[in-house]
Chain A
Amino acid sequence: MNILAIDASGLAASAAVLSEGVIKAEFFVCNKLTHSETLMPMVDQVIKASGLLLSDMDAIAVTEGPGSFTGLRIGSATAKGLAEAAGKKLVGIPTVDALARNLTGFEGNIVPLMDARRNETYTGIYTLSEDDSLIVLREQCAVPLSDILEDVNKRGRRTVFLGDGVKVFEEQIRHECRVSFLFSGANNRLQRASGVAVLAEQYIMEGKGVDASLHVPVYLRVSQAERERALAGNK
Chain B
Amino acid sequence: MEAVRNEAVNMPDGAVILGIESSCDETAAAVVKNGREVLSNIIYSQIDTHTLYGGVVPEIASRKHIEVIVQVVRKALEEAHLNIEDIDAVAVTYGPGLVGPLLVGVSYAKAYAWGTGKPLIGVHHIEGHIAANFIENKNLEPPFMCLVVSGGHTHLVNVRDYGEYEILGRTMDDAAGEAYDKVARAIGLGYPGGPKIDKAAKTGNPEAIHFPRAHVDGEEYDFSFSGLKSSVLNYLNSCEMKGETVNTADVAASFQAAVVDVLVGNSMKAVDKFGAGKFAIAGGVASNTALREAMEKACAERGVEFFRPSPILCTDNAAMIAGAAYFEYLKGNFAGPTLNAVANLKLGDR
Residues of A with C-beta under 8 A to B57: 223, 225
In the complex the two chains form, what is the Cα distance from A226 to B66 in whole Å?
18
Which of A39, A43, A85, A225 touches B112 (beta carbons < 8 Å)? Answer: A85
Chain A: how many interface residues by the 8 Å CB criterion?
Answer: 33
Residues of A with C-beta under 8 A to B73: 84
Residues B111 and A81 in contact, CB atoms below 8 Å apart: yes
The residues in A between 58 and 82 inclusive whose CB is less than 8 angstroms from any CB of B are 69-70, 73-74, 76-82
The residues in A between 144 and 169 inclusive whose CB is less than 8 angstroms from any CB of B are none
Residues A70 and B62 in contact, CB atoms below 8 Å apart: yes
Mark B residues whose CB is within 8 Å of A: 52-53, 57, 59-60, 62-63, 65-67, 69-71, 73-74, 84, 99-100, 103-116, 336-338, 340-341
Residues A85 and B67 in contact, CB atoms below 8 Å apart: no
Which B residue sits closest to A216, measured CB to CB? Answer: B67
Residues A212 and B103 in contact, CB atoms below 8 Å apart: no
Among the interface residues B57, B108, B116, which one has the most CB atoms of the partner chain A within 10 A?
Answer: B108
Residues of B with C-beta under 8 A to A44: 114, 337
- Contacts A69-B62, A223-B57 hold; do A213 and B115 have CB atoms under 8 A apart? no
Q: What would be 30 A-B contacts, judged by CB atoms less than 8 Å apart?
A: A36-B106, A37-B340, A40-B110, A40-B111, A40-B337, A40-B338, A41-B336, A70-B103, A73-B62, A73-B65, A73-B66, A73-B103, A73-B104, A74-B107, A77-B107, A80-B69, A81-B107, A81-B108, A81-B111, A82-B111, A84-B74, A84-B115, A86-B115, A213-B74, A216-B66, A217-B66, A225-B57, A225-B60, A226-B60, A229-B52
Which B residue sits closest to A74, measured CB to CB? Answer: B107
> B73 → chain A, closest Cβ, in Å?
7
Mark A residues whose CB is within 8 Å of B: 34, 36-37, 39-41, 43-44, 54, 69-70, 73-74, 76-82, 84-86, 212-213, 216-217, 219, 223-226, 229
| Interface secondary structure of B, over-half rule | helix
Residues A85 and B62 in contact, CB atoms below 8 Å apart: no
Which B residue sits closest to A80, measured CB to CB? Answer: B70
In the complex the two chains form, what is the Cα distance from A223 to B106 in whole Å?
22
Residues A85 and B116 in contact, CB atoms below 8 Å apart: yes
Residues A34 and B70 in contact, CB atoms below 8 Å apart: no
Residues A41 and B103 in contact, CB atoms below 8 Å apart: no
Residues A43 and B111 in contact, CB atoms below 8 Å apart: yes
In the complex the two chains form, what is the Cα distance from A217 to B59 in whole Å?
13
In the complex the two chains form, what is the Cα distance from A226 to B59 in whole Å?
10
- Contacts A80-B70, A213-B74 hold; do A224 and B111 have CB atoms under 8 A apart? no
Residues A81 and B104 in contact, CB atoms below 8 Å apart: no
Which A residue sits closest to B70, measured CB to CB? Answer: A213
Residues B116 and A80 in contact, CB atoms below 8 Å apart: no
> B344 → chain A, closest Cβ, in Å?
15
